[in-house]
Amino acid sequence: ATDSNISKQLNNLELLAKEKTIANLPLYGIPFAIKDNIDALGWETTAACPDFAFDPKKNATVVQKLLDAGAILIGKTNLDQFATGLVGTRSPYGAVPNTFDPTYVSGGSSSGSASVVARGLVCFSLGTDTAGSGRIPAAFNNIVGTKPTPGLVSTEGVFPACKSIDCVSIMTLTAADAHIVLDVMKSTEVDRIKEAQFHPIPKLVSSFRRPTRIGIPISCQFLDDGQYQKAFAKAIENAKGLDVELVQVDIDPFVKAGKLLYDGPWVSERFAVTENFLNTHPDSFDPSVKQIIQSGASYTAAQGFRAIYQLKELEIETKETWAKCDVILVPSAPNHPTLEDLKNHPILKNSELGMYTNYVNLMRLCAVAVPAGFTEKGMPFGVTLIAQEGSDTALLKLAAQWQILFGLSLGKSEIKAAHSELTISGNNKDIVEIAVVG
C-alpha cells in the first residue's frame, strides 16, 4: 500500500471508531493482504496478468466487510495467473519461493497470500480456492488455510476461475484467527440479494458430536520418496490424542469426482471468462496457464452436463462415507515439488498436487488445511480436515483443538502460541433450529 492509501484507511478507521462500538470492529487495526484476483478500490486487479489489469469500481464484498470491521489492507499478493495453478510459479511477477526453503514451491495459486502470513507480514490474508488454491500453499508454508462451504462467503468482486464453484479462502497462523475473520466475512441475506448465487446459504453446524468420528482413508496415494507417507502416519498417530474416534473410510468416490474437475469440462469455466481476452491477447499468458485454459474450448455442453450427472452419482456414494464419519482427514498434498521439478514438468507436477483437494468444492464441502508437523527434510507437512456443507465453524473448532494438541511453531516463525490464543470460545454464536410439526 502507498502511504496515502494507508493514511486514507487510517482516517476511515477513526470515523468507524466514532460510529461503532469496538465490539462491532472485531478487526480494528488488523493488517491484511489479499490475492490479486480480488478487487480493492484504489488497487489494480491484475490476476497476475499485467495486460489484463483493470481498476475495479468497488471493493469485493468480502474486502468491504473486512474494512468495515476495522481491518487495514496493506497489500495485494502474487498468484498463479488467473488462479490457474497449485504451485505458485505461474506468474510474470516471479515464482513465489517457499518460506522454508526457496528451492521448493510455495504452492498456489494463493502463493503470495500464504507467504505473507507465514512470514508474519500480516495477521491474515485472503486467497481463493477452487481446486485447492488455498489449502495447498497453506500446507506448504505451515499455516492454516480455511476453505469455506460454497455459498457461505461472497465471491462478488473476485475474478473467476470456475465461477460456479469458486470460494474465497482465509490464510491465518491459527484456526482461532480464521474463525474471527470468517465470522466477519460471511454473506448476509442482504448481500445475497444483490449478487449472483450459485449455492444456497448452508445451514451452519457449530460443533461435531463428541467423540468426533474422523474418517481416515483406507489407502492414500503419495508421490514422493516416502516422507509424506511417514508424516501422515505420524499425524494420524498424534490425532488420537484428540477427543475423536478414528474410522476407516473409502475416499475413492471423492477422488473420482476430483478427476472430473481437472480432466473434465469444468475447465471450460476458465475458458468462458477469459475467451475474449485470449483472442485479443494470446501472448499475454503464462504458457502453462494458456495451455490449460485453451483446453476448456474443446468440451461440449453435453459433456459438461454428463459430468454433472456423474458428479451427482458419485455424491450418492459419498453418503455412505458421511454416514460413518463427521470429518475426513487427508494429506493436503501427495508430495511437495521443487521449483526444478516444475521446470521439468510444468503441467504434470501441478496436476498431481490436487489429488486431495480437487473434489471439495464440486461436492459443496468445507475444509481446513492445518499444519501437522515436518518431514525429515524439515519441510512443513499439512493435513486437511474436510466436512459436509455448513460445518465450517465445527471444523475450525476441531482445527483449533488440533493446533493445541500438536503445539507446533506458527508459520515460518519459532513462536508457539499460548493455549488461550489457539482456543475458539464457546457456543455464543450457535444457532438452534427448532422445527415444530403439528
Tell me how far the alpha carbon of residue 110 is from its chain's centroid. Answer: 8
Q: Are 339 and 104 in contact (CB under 8 A)?
A: yes
Kindly state the smallest distance separating residue 174's Cβ from a copy of itself, in Å: 25
Q: Which of 65, 76, 106, 109 is catalytic?
A: 109
Q: Which of 35, 290, 397, 412 is catalytic?
A: 35
Q: Are 44 and 53 in contact (CB under 8 A)?
A: yes
Please tell me the distance from the alpha carbon of residue 392 to that of residue 424, in angstroms, as a whole number: 13
- Per the listing, cell 473434465 goes with 264
Distances (CA, A) of 406 to 236, 392, 399, 422: 11, 21, 10, 11
Determine whether 35 is an active site residue: yes
**Between residues 83 and 116, which has the closer beta carbon with respect to a copy of itself?**
83
From 350, 316, 315, 310, select the one nearest 333 (Cα to Cα): 350
Q: Which of 91, 111, 133, 391 is catalytic?
A: 133
Kindly state the smallest distance separating residue 224's Cβ from a copy of itself, in Å: 34
- The residues that touch a copy of itself, with contacts defined as CB under 8 A, are 163-164, 193-198, 200, 265, 268-269, 271-272, 275, 296-297, 299-306, 308-309, 312-313, 315-316, 319, 428-429, 431-438
**Between residues 15 and 432, which has the closer beta carbon with respect to a copy of itself?**
432
Cα dihedral angle (287, 289, 295, 301), rounded to 10 degrees? -160
**Between residues 134 and 264, which has the closer beta carbon with respect to a copy of itself?**
264
Q: Which three cell numbers stand for residue 316?
A: 450418492
**Between residues 233 and 297, which has the closer beta carbon with respect to a copy of itself?**
297
H or E, element range at 323: helix 301-324
**Between residues 23 and 436, which has the closer beta carbon with respect to a copy of itself?**
436
Kindly state the smallest distance separating residue 127's Cβ from a copy of itself, in Å: 22
Q: Which three cell numbers stand for residue 257?
A: 469426482
Kindly state the smallest distance separating residue 307's Cβ from a copy of itself, in Å: 8
Distances (CA, A) of 263 to 260, 274, 304: 5, 19, 12
Three-class secondary structure of residue 161 per DSSP: coil
**Between residues 103 and 427, which has the closer beta carbon with respect to a copy of itself?**
427
Q: Which three cell numbers stand for residue 262?
A: 481437472
Kindly state the smallest distance separating residue 304's Cβ from a copy of itself, in Å: 4
**Between residues 54 and 305, which has the closer beta carbon with respect to a copy of itself?**
305
Kindly state the smallest distance separating residue 430's Cβ from a copy of itself, in Å: 8
Please tell me the distance from the alpha carbon of residue 415 to that of residue 117, in angstroms, as a whole number: 13
From 394, 239, 392, 250, select the one nearest 322 (Cα to Cα): 250
- Per the listing, cell 519459532 goes with 414
H or E, element range at 125: strand 124-128
Kindly state the smallest distance separating residue 300's Cβ from a copy of itself, in Å: 6
Beta-carbon contacts of residue 348 (< 8 Å; ≥ 6 apart)? none
**What residues are annotated to the active site?**
35, 109, 133
